[in-house]
Amino acid sequence: MDFSFGSPKAEPGAPALGKPLLSLGLPRRGVDDSTPFSLDTDAEVGPDWRNALSEWVEEHSYYPQQAAALGQQGTTRVLVTTMPDGRVLSVELERGSGSPWLDLALEGLFRGAKLPPMPKSVGDQPVPFHFTMHYIIVR
């Protein structure tokens, strides 16, 4: 999914004049994993589930047009509680970005969602995790 607005110039990756490119992550150097979020949980979910969640987020996340039009960026953190089968039970905003559009986009990403199922070793109890998304406009 392309999270940018505008089209590149002749040089790959160069921003179009007058239109910002949008990123859902922090710029990094020398790091292969450029995921725009962080995940924090005490559950032993393992790297396979983390990778599956990363793919799910890449497929379903977006930068709200309203926030982009207003030049809003920031970091939003939510507490997501999910069943091991992937059903999301609740989403709570823990730290707002200062932009209601960005906060609502992250809450809406998880609310009522069906995430990838967790490994059987997690058990059958609800699993909470903290999810932080970095919304950045690259100029």
Residue-range domains of the chain with CATH: 21-25+37-138 (3.30.1150.10)
Q: How many CB atoms lie within 10 A of CB 86?
A: 16
In this predicted structure, what is the pLDDT of residue 123?
A: 86
Q: Which helix or strand (DSSP H or E) is residue 110 part of?
A: helix 100-110
In this predicted structure, what is the pLDDT of residue 121?
A: 84
Beta strands, E only, the chain: 21-23, 37-40, 74-82, 88-95, 127-138
Q: Which amino acid is at 78?
A: V
What does the pLDDT profile of the chain (139 residues) look like in tens digits?
444 444 333 344 444 434 344 445 444 443 344 455 667 776 787 888 888 998 999 999 999 999 999 999 999 999 999 999 999 999 999 999 999 999 999 999 999 999 999 988 888 899 888 999 999 988 7
In this predicted structure, what is the pLDDT of residue 37?
A: 63
In this predicted structure, what is the pLDDT of residue 42?
A: 67
